[in-house]
Structure 1
Amino acid sequence: MAYSRRTLLGGLVGGLGGFSLPIVVGNAMGGALSAADQAFSKLAVSWLDQSMRFNPVAATAIGDHRFDALMTDFSPKGRAAALDFAKTTLRALKAIDSESLSRANQVDASMLANALESQIWTTEIGQDWAWNPLVWQEVAGGAIYSLMAREFAPLPTRLIRATARMNAIPAFLAETRASLVPARVPMPHAVTYAAQNKGLKSILSEMITPNLSALEGKDRAALEAAMAVFSAAIDSHQSWIETVLVPAAQGEFRAGAARFDQQLRYTLLSPLSRQDIRTRAEAAVIEVRAKMYHAACMALKGVADAPPTPANPTDAQRQNAIRAALDLAAADRPARHALVETSTKATQIAREFVVAKDLITLPEGPVRIILMPEFQRGFAVAYCDSPGPLEKHLDTFYAVSPIPDEWSEEQAISFTREYNRRAIQDIAVHEAMPGHYVQIFHANAYPSILRAVLSSGSFVEGWAVYGETMMVEEGFMADDPLYHLTQLKILLRAISNAIIDQAIHVDGWSEAQVMTFLTQTAFQEEREAAGKWRRAQLSITQLSTYFVGFSEHMEARAAAKAKQGSAFSLKAYHDGILSFGSPPVRYARALLLDEAIV
């Protein structure tokens, strides 16, 4: 399953942490500021400024380049300072009369309170810094990558800043070793960390070495020396990972009910409980599988040796028919090394349809399809990496993970059966047209930087899943029942994500149970199911954002249709619901339809 890296920025900033930049944070929709709005605006500016100071790496990604030469301070002193600031800010926020705020600021205030409460809970109770090495990896990898991936400043300037950060990496990795408690680290996290840490050196070979000629004299000498320091530090840290961390890792990766439920509330900022989500998801599985059977029947018409497709099938007949039709789609696979090329073509096809149907206002610039950086691999198959809200003019990347070289041909075939040409077409809709790329383009037009930094994962991921369904509703690939079937299968994947998220972390499902559920009920190929088992072990509640957000987007559109009647316009609705940035869907719906903000 793909995802948007934008949804991780809010957690990264909140988990760690005065804009001198000309930004808007309060009363973003215009109008006179009340005393409460003025107090909130001042507080929001202070929080944004200090959060960037606490986390320079996140600041670079967001587009605040005041601290590009600095590293994030994850030491006990740094964590304590960030925690103290979060508590002080939360007290000040609670002292503001929320009912006197503008509707826009009521939303932002709720999102900020949620982020602060999440930060405090994560630091004091969750303690990710002590057991989750991937939190440290996100910073170590982003430190140099975020400086080199986009041309926000001249290349020599970015290389000089990268020099400073590379020189700071040894101390950061030393703090990583001092803070992590190997016995508390779960084995899946340790193994993934071992693979990703090695990938950090690819940043040198792919982004720094080819650009050495941009510097001369002492600046180049300093850069080359820093590269040696960086490389040696990564090697030394890798040795520690392999000889100390991995052998000692015995932490429990399952969250348990109490922790899962608390984190779910922070992740979703939704009144839906874990039990509500499970009930909805299990009903949706039945509904989508019924639609898949209908699409399979259409696809199997005239196919020799096709299984029977009666109007009232038994469970076995339904299963066999869907599987047989999916096998037809799986047979149309891209070449092992052609994933980027195939994704690029699929993105263009989706864009042409969106333009022809005039479904939504589109960005003028293209999205760049790239190979996923090595240090990010092992979590998801693809992601959308949009520029920060302060740099909306820069490139958006649609990153695709290559098939690992060490995979056997059988494993590669399993992967490309799952990510066949039709599946890649649907993923292009999810990531780019009209999914993440288009949604975040609209979000970047909203003037509240605070809301952009704290963007809702369920809004962002839910929109992308909604976009897949909406495109089929509007006739995308209408003459190809196998595409419709594939899109339904990927929708079923989003629903299944929400089920296994809690089934693994709360109900204690085993790997065998998860694999059976994903391969049989959800029709996933073995490699996809195995990857999802790994991803579910590494994350808590993020997998629930797809289905919850999708459901809320579908409900919001239905409410708009009911209210507007014959005046309803799909394009106007899309532009409207996306015009408020990326808050939780219920807030965007309330702002669009003039409903109460609760």
Structure 2
Amino acid sequence: MPRSKQTSRRTVLGAFGAGLTVPLLPSFAAAKGQTGADARFAKISADWLDQTMRLNPVTATWTGDHRFDHLLPDMSAKGRAESLQHAKASLAKVMALPANSLSRDNQVDRAMLLNEVQAQIWRSETLEEWAWNPLVWQDQAGSSLYNLLAREFAPLPQRLKAVTARLRRLPGFLAEARASLVPSRVPTPHALTYAAQNQGLKSIITDMVEPVKSALQGVDLAALDAAIAQFFAAIDTHQNWIETTLLPAAKADFRAGARVFDQQLAYTLLSPLSRQEIRSRADAAVKQVRADMYAVSVRALAGHADAPPMPADPTPDQQQKVIRAALDLAAADRPARDKLVEVSTEATEIARQFVASKDLIRLPDGPVRIILMPEFRRGFSVAYCDSPGPLEKHLDTFYAVSPIPDDWTDQQAISFTSEYNRRAIQDIAVHEAMPGHYVQIFHANTHPSILRAVLGSGSFVEGWAVYAETMMVEEGFMADDPLYRLTQLKVLLRTITNAIIDQAIHVDDWSEAQVMTFLTETAFQEEREAAGKWRRAQLSVTQLSTYFVGFSEHMEARAAAKAKQGAAFTLKAYHDGILGFGSPPVRYARALLLDEAIG
């Protein structure tokens, strides 16, 4: 399932220890020049943001704070202790400021900051990902270079000098990873993914640095070349450690268990919904969406002589066969294995034209750039939206598409492109770009709270993108093509089953066979998609729940707005309104929009 890179940024904030060329504006209160409790909260927020950027230079680069572009985070025991101390001190300051003393906007920011620092403390003292999850080290290493080169936030020579500085530090960073990771605590799927991604770090140099390094001359160019050589040698040393030390010992259970899952779910969603409530809602939604898929399949198969029986009240077996037969029609319209970017680009423009013609929401002025996913990030998701940080909202947004691996057989490639056929790619373009992640983050960046942007809610962001898929169909997108509606419902079913397997795997001990059967039969996924989801679910905990929970909350918020506003309700005004509050958890955006209690 696609994901937004925007939503993954929070996972590195303050989790470790260790970068503003413009001042951070952390809260609405500061922007309005308020005094009293709001002013005190503005100071607390500014201090938290400043120290967080210092401790997390890679996140700072993405945010647009370029004071620390030459540094890497300090993920040693000393750095982690400094980060933990920062979180605990911030928690005490936030707790000392009652929520009811603040403006409504700052009540929301306070709740988000409180959730974040509590999560930081829990991650540091209980979860200890630095010791068992090599992928957090991988993301920092790769992003430290990628974030300097992907966008033109400064002249190229300046950015290349920062690349040189970080390259010089990366061999020590990789050595610290070897010293901190405990191979016996590392789950096998994490180690295998790490082994595959580590060598991909070299591609950042060959693909992004080498073609432009002539922007440097003399001693600066020589320094960059020397740093590259040291970096490549360090990667090879690290790869040897991964293969000879980490992989043989990495036998830990990847399953989180109920206690860890439930706590992380609370921090991820910041929602009153429990794991059990989410599962109950998801089980009911599976039945409803499958019934809707059957009705659409009957329309799609009308006139096909070889269609299976289509009774008004089908048995489960009849329902399965009819839906599968219609999905096979959609799957047959596949892109070439080397044309995913081109097809995605075309699909994004089709969606943009529809949104503009219907005037559904205020659109960004510039286009989103569709790119091949960087090699060091492949192996987790099929696509993602990578938006600029809140201090550099004028820079490019990328819609990254993962290519089909060269070593896949034709059969595997057909399985993949059957799942991601042309109609599915069209739906993903809606999700990732128009009017999904790209448009939503554009709106979010208009809100003055940098704090809220940095702590953006994954369930709001992912939920909006899923909501956008449904809303587009409701408004008539591809209305003359029942196979598109069927494909959109299948993707919605994937959203729902994401939430089910998230907890079924990590709490209920579902096996790979159970997951594969559930996804290929109940959710109609192709084998390659189901296999990829099994791998992704092993590597993440609770992120797969954000799509369904956020979608449900967005649908409920719109229904509440319609009920309250009556004849005055308009879809564009609602969309611009709900997105204008940034990316807080949906319940807070709803409360601000509809003047409900914030709790």
Bigger shift: residues 307-316 or 16-25: 16-25
1:10 aligned residue: 10
- Cα distance between partner residues in 2 of 1:501 and 1:34: 44
**Equivalent position of 1:528 in the other structure:** 529
User: How far apart are residue 439 of structure 1 and its match?
Assistant: 0.1
* 3-state SS, counterpart of residue 385 of structure 2: strand
In the alignment, the residues of structure 1 paired with residue 389 and residue 304 of structure 2 have an alpha-carbon distance, to the nearest angstrom, of: 49
Letter aligned with residue 273 of structure 1 = S
Displacement of 1:33 after TM fit? Answer: 2.2
- Looking at structure 2, the residues matched to 410 and 153 of structure 1 have their Cα atoms a distance apart, in angstroms, of 45
In the alignment, structure 1 residue 160 sits paired with structure 2 residue 166: no
Deviations 1:553-576 (A, max 9, x none): 000000000000000000000000
Equivalent residues in 2 for 1:332-371, closer than 5 Å: 332-371=333-372
Query: 2: distance between equivalents of 1:181 and 1:233?
Result: 19
1:234 aligns with: 235
Q: In the TM superposition, what is the alpha-carbon distance from 1:27 to its structure 2 partner?
A: 2.9
1:408/1:28 Cα in 2 relative to 1: closer, same or farther (>3 Å)? farther
What does residue range 111-130 of structure 1 map to in structure 2 within 5 Å?
111-130=112-131
Please name the residue that 1:170 is paired with.
171
Paired residues in the alignment total 598
Deviation at 1:21, TM superposition (A): 2.6
1:33 aligned counterpart, secondary structure: coil
- In the aligned structure 1, how far is the partner of 2:162 from the partner of 2:28? 35
Question: C-alpha displacement at 1:391, in angstroms?
Answer: 0.3
Specify the alignment match of 1:219 in structure 2: 220
Q: Distance in 2 between matches of 1:10 and 1:451?
A: 11
The answer to whether the 8 A contact 2:20-2:67 is kept is: no
Q: Which AA in structure 2 matches 1:23?
A: L
1:153 deviates by: 0.5
Answer yes or no: is 1:407 the counterpart of 2:381: no
Shift of 1:30: 6.0
Measure how far apart 1:20 and its partner are: 6.6
| Cross-structure match for 1:49 | 50
Q: Per the alignment, in what secondary structure is the counterpart of residue 67 of structure 2?
A: coil
Q: Which amino acid aligns with 1:438?
A: V
Question: What is the distance in 2 between the residues matched to 1:472 and 1:14?
Answer: 40
CA distance in 1, matches of 2:591, 2:575: 15
Distance 1:52 1:439 in 2: 24
Inter-partner Cα distance in structure 2 for 1:87 and 1:391: 30
Where do 4+ consecutive residues of structure 1 move more than 6 Å? none
Amino acid at match of 1:133: P
Corresponding residue for residue 493 of structure 1: 494
Contact kept in structure 1, 2:30 and 2:39, CA below 8 Å: no
% same residue: 72
Is the alpha carbon distance of 1:435 and 1:413 closer, same or farther for their aligned partners in structure 2, counting shifts above 3 Å?
same
Residue 141 of structure 1 contacts residue 200 of structure 1 at CA under 8 Å; is this kept in 2?
yes
Secondary structure class of the residue paired with 1:16: coil
TM-score normalised over the length of structure 2: 0.99
* Equivalent position of 2:25 in the other structure: 24
Secondary structure, counterpart of 1:227 in structure 2: helix
Give the deviation of 1:52 after TM superposition.
Answer: 0.5
**In structure 2, what is the Cα distance between the partners aligned to 1:264 and 1:298?**
39
Who is 1:202 aligned against? 203
* Alpha-carbon distance between aligned partners in 2 of 1:302 and 1:65, rounded to the nearest angstrom: 62
**1:539-554 correspondence to structure 2 within 5 Å:** 539-554=540-555
Q: Please name the residue that 1:416 is paired with.
A: 417
- Quote the Cα distance in structure 2 between the aligned partners of 1:277 and 1:554: 15
Structure 2 counterpart of 1:7, which letter? T
Secondary structure in structure 2 of the residue aligned to 1:15: coil
Shift in Å, 1:252: 0.9
Match of 2:564, as an amino acid?
Answer: K
CA distance in 2, matches of 1:493, 1:134: 25
Partner residue, 1:378: 379
Residues 29, 442 of structure 1: CA spacing in aligned structure 2 closer, same or farther, 3 A cutoff?
farther
Instruction: Supply the distance in 1 between the matched residues of 2:548 and 2:456 (Cα, whole angstroms).
Output: 17
CA contact (8 A) 1:16 1:51 kept: no
SS at match of 2:338: coil
Where does structure 1 lack aligned partners over 5 or more consecutive residues?
none
* Structure 2 Cα separation of the partners of residues 10 and 572 of structure 1: 29
Distance 1:29 1:490, change over 3 A: farther
Code of the residue aligned with 2:199 in structure 1: it is K
Give the AA of the match of 1:3. Answer: R
- Give, in whole Å, the separation in 2 of the partners of 1:26 and 1:72: 26
How many Å separate the matches in 1 of 2:535 and 2:356? 38
RMSD in angstroms over aligned alpha carbons?
A: 1.0
Which residue pairs with 2:390 in the alignment? 389
| Mapping for residues 272-311 of structure 1, pairs under 5 Å | 272-311=273-312
**TM-superposition CA deviations, 1:524-547 (whole Å, max 9, x none):** 000000000000000000000000
Q: Which residue of 2 aligns with 1:430?
A: 431
